[in-house]
């Protein structure tokens, strides 16, 4: 028994010493970040691994905020080389990066992602405006009796919100506050919808905090159901419940078009073309950020960028569009491809 323990101790010592060696040099690219960009980045990574002499990059799905935190922790092989984000880097994050020695960051915008509000095909398609969605989902809404004050959301059915909508109960399944999709929904739909009311819009200048709370606060009385980060689950649930609407990424609508339909938002149905030409209002840009100090230290970063920014990947007919990424207009693609090739670091925000 004692001998065995000795053997084990020796073995674990060997493993640990081997580790020190492995940490000194990394031969694969380490990527972290957004779960929305994850399905696209992984396709590029796989293609990159297959067609080049480099190893397939490792991609962790940590969420945009979590990814940037890891990314900004420092320079060195133990820190990731690239982080994906479903929103732009924040000023505070850029400062954190700079504080830890990550001074030169290359920003690459990769395309757009639409957020769909959808229900089952068994029910009629909804035609919503952003104001309708705001009134149906906000925690506090302008007093329906008139007057410039906020009251707790009294609306029970869609008809209460807007007389032209059906008299079904308001029941919306969506992502929790930790999700980037929820952030984007708040910014693109709720904030836009609440500005239709003059007195809330006026608050933006006078009291930013109150404005944020009035616009972004989502009701907690059961009409909005937090369904977790798993978009497939939301799809399954709205399929089973004809009265419920779901909020999720466009690629899930694209894959399940036989079962669910996207609601019109401000009169536009979420389709690939409508998002690409910008007429569908609820779409957001996706990014990734590259640590310039790692280029050359970790093999293959420049080649990975070249693969990602090639037309066969992110072009109008590229393989990423097949996975549901909405490509940028050609001029914008050219600009970002050029910046990525030249490794032009982004300026301060």
Partner 1 sequence: MSEPDKSTARTIDIVEASLKRRYARERRFKLMGLGAVLLGLLFVTLLFFDIVSKGYTAFVQTHIALEVYFDPAVIDPDGKRDMAEIARADFRKIAREPLAKLFPEVTSRGDKRALYSMLSSGAPYQLSKMVMKEPGLIGTRQVVDLVADDDVDMVVKGNIDRNAPAADRRVNDQMIGWISKLEADGVVKKKFNTRFFTNGDSREPELAGIGGAAAGSFYTLLVTLLLSFPIGVAAAVYLEEFAPKNRWTDLIEVNINNLAAVPSIVFGLLGLAMFINLFGLPRSAPLVGGLVLTLMTLPTIIIAARASLKSVPPSIREAALGVGASKMQTVFHHVLPLAMPGMLTGTIIGMAQALGETAPLLMIGMVAFIVDIPGGPLDPSTVLPVQVYLWADSPERAFVERTSAAILVLLAFLIAMNTFAVIMRRRFERRW
Using CB under 8 A as the binding rule, whether residue 269 contacts partner 1 is answered as no
User: Which range touches partner 1 (CB under 8 A), out of 96-104, 167-175, 196-204, 249-257?
Assistant: 249-257
Distance, CA of 184 to CA of 156 (rounded, Å): 25
User: Contact at 8 Å (CB) between 340 and 108?
Assistant: yes
Least Å distance between CB 273 and partner 1? 14
- Residue 179, judged by CB atoms within 10 A of its CB (0-12, 13-18, 19+), counts as buried
Determine the distance from the C-alpha atom of residue 267 to the mean position of all C-alpha atoms in its chain, rounded to a whole number: 24
- Exactly one of 101, 147, 152, 257 binds partner 1 (CB under 8 A); which one? 257
Residue 249 lies near partner 1 (rule: CB under 8 A): yes
Among 19, 125, 143, 149, binds partner 1 (CB under 8 A): 19
Smallest distance, Å, CB 23 to partner 1? 6
Give min distance, CB of 190 to partner 1, in A. 25
Q: Which helix (H) or strand (E) holds 108?
A: strand 105-120
Closest distance of CB 120 from partner 1, Å: 12
Whether the Cβ atoms of residue 263 and residue 118 lie closer than 8 Å to each other: yes
Q: Which of 92, 143, 232, 335 binds partner 1 (CB under 8 A)?
A: 232
User: Site for partner 1 (CB under 8 A): how many residues?
Assistant: 51
Minimum Å distance from CB 58 to partner 1? Answer: 4
Q: 169 vs 57, 136, 159, 278, CA distance in Å?
A: 46, 10, 9, 31
DSSP label at residue 270 = -
Angle at 237 between CA 141 and CA 118, to 5 degrees: 55
Residue among 193, 190, 180, 314 nearest 248 (CA): 180
Q: According to CB under 8 A, which residues from 295 to 334 bind partner 1?
A: 317, 319, 323-324
User: Which of the stretches 46-54, 145-153, 299-307, 329-337 binds partner 1 when contact is defined by CB under 8 A?
Assistant: 46-54
Q: In whole angstroms, how close is the CB of 335 to partner 1 at the nearest point?
A: 27
Residue among 12 and 335 whose Cβ is closer to partner 1? 12
Compute the distance between CA of residue 290 and CA of residue 302 in angstroms, rounded to an integer. 10
Contact with partner 1 (CB under 8 A): which of 88, 90, 103, 121?
121
Point out which span in 35-43, 146-154, 195-203, 207-215 binds partner 1 (CB under 8 A): 35-43
How far is it, in rounded angstroms, from Cα 184 to Cα 256? 22
Residues ≥6 apart with Cβ < 8 Å to 324: 39, 113, 249, 250, 251, 254, 255
Q: Where are the alpha helices (DSSP H) in 231-329?
A: 231-240, 250-255, 272-276, 301-308, 311-314, 319-322
Q: Which helix (H) or strand (E) holds 116?
A: strand 105-120
Specify which residues 152 forms β-bridges with.
Answer: 140
What is the smallest separation between the CB atom of 10 and partner 1, expressed in angstroms? 11
Distance CA 136, CA 243 (A): 14
By CB under 8 A, tell whether 43 contacts partner 1: yes
For residue 33, the cross-strand partners are: 84
Beta-bridge partners for 47 = none
34 binds partner 1 (CB under 8 A): no
Residue 284 near residue 116 (C-beta atoms within 8 A): no
Among 140, 226, 254, 303, binds partner 1 (CB under 8 A): 254
CB of residue 22 vs partner 1: minimum separation in angstroms?
5
* Distance of closest approach, residue 130 Cβ to partner 1, in angstroms: 25
Our CB check for partner 1 shows the closer of 140 and 226 to be 226
Name the site residues for partner 1 (rule: CB under 8 A). 1, 4-5, 8, 11-12, 15-16, 18-20, 22-23, 26, 28, 30, 32, 35, 38-39, 41-43, 45-46, 49-50, 55-56, 58-61, 78, 121, 229-232, 249, 251-252, 254-258, 317, 319, 323-324
């Amino acid at each position: 028994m004692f001998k065995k323990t000795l053997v084990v101790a020796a073995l674990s010592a060997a493993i640990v010493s081997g580790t020190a060696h492995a940490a000194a040099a990394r031969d694969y690219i380490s990527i972290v970040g957004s779960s929305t960009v994850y399905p696209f980045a992984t396709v590029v990574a796989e293609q990159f691994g297959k067609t080049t002499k480099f190893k397939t990059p490792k991609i962790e799905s940590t969420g945009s905020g979590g990814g940037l935190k890891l990314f900004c922790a420092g320079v060195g092989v133990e820190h990731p080389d690239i982080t994906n984000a479903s929103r732009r880097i924040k000023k505070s994050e850029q400062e954190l990066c700079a504080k830890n020695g990550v001074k030169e960051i290359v920003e690459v915008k990769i395309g757009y992602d639409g957020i769909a509000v959808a229900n089952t095909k068994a029910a009629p398609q909804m035609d919503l405006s952003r104001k309708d969605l705001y009134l149906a989902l906000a925690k506090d809404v302008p007093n329906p009796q008139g007057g410039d004050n906020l009251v707790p959301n009294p609306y029970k059915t869609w008809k209460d919100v807007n007389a032209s909508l059906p008299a079904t109960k308001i029941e919306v399944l969506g992502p929790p506050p930790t999700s980037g999709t929820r952030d984007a929904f708040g910014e693109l739909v709720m904030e836009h919808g609440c500005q239709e009311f003059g007195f809330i819009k006026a608050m933006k200048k006078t009291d930013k905090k109150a404005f944020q709370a009035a616009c972004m606060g989502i009701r907690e009385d059961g009409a909005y159901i937090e369904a977790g980060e798993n978009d497939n689950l939301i799809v399954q649930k709205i399929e089973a419940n004809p009265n419920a609407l779901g909020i999720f990424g466009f690629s899930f609508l694209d894959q399940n078009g036989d079962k669910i339909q996207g609601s019109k938002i401000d009169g536009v149905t979420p389709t690939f073309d409508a998002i690409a030409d910008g007429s569908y209002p609820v779409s957001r840009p996706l990014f990734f950020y590259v640590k310039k100090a790692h280029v050359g230290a970790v093999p293959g970063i420049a080649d990975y960028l070249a693969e990602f920014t090639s037309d066969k990947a992110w072009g109008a007919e590229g393989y990423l569009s097949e996975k549901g990424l909405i490509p940028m207009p050609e001029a914008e693609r050219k600009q970002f491809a050029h910046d990525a090739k030249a490794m032009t670091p982004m300026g301060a925000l």
